[in-house]
Amino acid sequence: MGFEDVCCTGLGLGLGRQDRPQSRLQSDHQEKKKKLCLKYDNSFPCLTLGPSEDTYQLAAKINDAGKGYGESTDLHRQASSLSAVSSFSNSSIKKERDLCGEVEVEVEVEVEIERVSSRASDEDEEGNSRKKLRLTKEQAVILEDSFKQHSTLNPRQKQVLAKQLNLRPRQVEVWFQNRRARTKLKQTEVDCELLRKRCETLTDENQRLQKELQELKALKLATPLYMQLPAATLTMCPSCERIGSGGDASSKTSFTIGAKPRFCNPFTHPSPAC
């Protein structure tokens, strides 16, 4: 019995993988990505610091001035340390609108800013490179703290956190999704390790019992007939210390080999031989 045996039980941890028609999926994926990149090739990092109103004014300034790349770098300097390099994705506007009521208005403002401004990053002219965002330490700490309090977010919490971190709500949402996935993966690894250890223990136990069985079989061959009776068949009367087969009153012998073993509680029912 090995680890595989255990893993084939109902205790599976779901570590297998599903095969999917990769090629079709892949091309589909690439196609959609292309479209997205073309559509949002003017998106830029969200560099807001203060309330969205201020943000809007800043964006309006930029818009009015008709400035592009260089200006956004200046804006970058005005931003808080948290805002540094936080938004490079090309996510859709629809997904930005993941909030309701007045919140949605604020989000739309941010999207608007993304549209009117150029990027202050090393994206190429077509804007179709996917830049890797690294959250700052401060952002990560705040997100972790928040995750410790609640592993899921309601729209309001998401919005508040996004504002606090100067990220887009979608980014906060994605971070929480990925964080939950990481937690789950870690837990799966822990479970797998526990299962492996349990398997080892059971294997050892099995070997020990097999060995014991062999010894008992060997002993059986080397002992007289009466000693070969199953242990439950023979009882010792505590008062007379004679071996009896259990409750057969007609029996005159001190022990019998009964066809059916009977169980006798020597403490409540003394043997008939007494």
Nearest by Cα to 172 from 239, 89, 102, 236: 89
CB 140 to DNA: min, Å: 6
The token pair that represents 66 in the structure block: 């008709």
Among 61, 134, 262, 269, binds DNA (CB under 7 A): 134
- Catalogue the E-assigned strands of the chain: 235-236, 243-244
Token pair 């804007």 is found at 127
241: left (phi over 0), alpha (psi -120 to 50) or beta: left
Q: Is 129 or 164 the residue whose CB approaches DNA more closely?
A: 129
Q: Is 67 or 179 the residue whose CB approaches DNA more closely?
A: 179
Give, as one character, the DSSP assignment of residue 141: H
Near DNA in 163-182, by CB under 7 A: 170-171, 173-182
User: Which amino acid belongs to residue 155?
Assistant: P
Span interacting with DNA, options 19-27, 65-73, 106-114, 243-251, rule CB under 7 A: 19-27
Q: Is 12 or 238 the residue whose CB approaches DNA more closely?
A: 12
Q: Is 92 in the site for DNA (CB under 7 A)?
A: yes
Near DNA in 56-75, by CB under 7 A: none
Q: Is 186 in the site for DNA (CB under 7 A)?
A: no
Q: Is 186 or 262 the residue whose CB approaches DNA more closely?
A: 186
CB 211 to DNA: min, Å: 40
Near DNA in 194-253, by CB under 7 A: none
Q: Is 191 in the site for DNA (CB under 7 A)?
A: no
Q: Is 38 in the site for DNA (CB under 7 A)?
A: no
User: Which amino acid belongs to residue 31?
Assistant: E
Q: Is 33 in the site for DNA (CB under 7 A)?
A: yes
Residues 161/146, Cβ–Cβ less than 8 Å: yes
Rounded to a whole number of angstroms, the CA Rg of the chain reads 37
Q: Is 127 in the site for DNA (CB under 7 A)?
A: no
- Measure the CA–CA gap between 211 and 30, rounded to whole angstroms: 61
Residues 151/180, Cβ–Cβ less than 8 Å: yes
Residues 162/155, Cβ–Cβ less than 8 Å: no
Binding site for DNA (CB under 7 A): 14, 17-18, 20, 22, 25-26, 28-30, 32-33, 36, 86-92, 94-95, 97-99, 122, 129-135, 140, 152-153, 155, 170-171, 173-182, 184
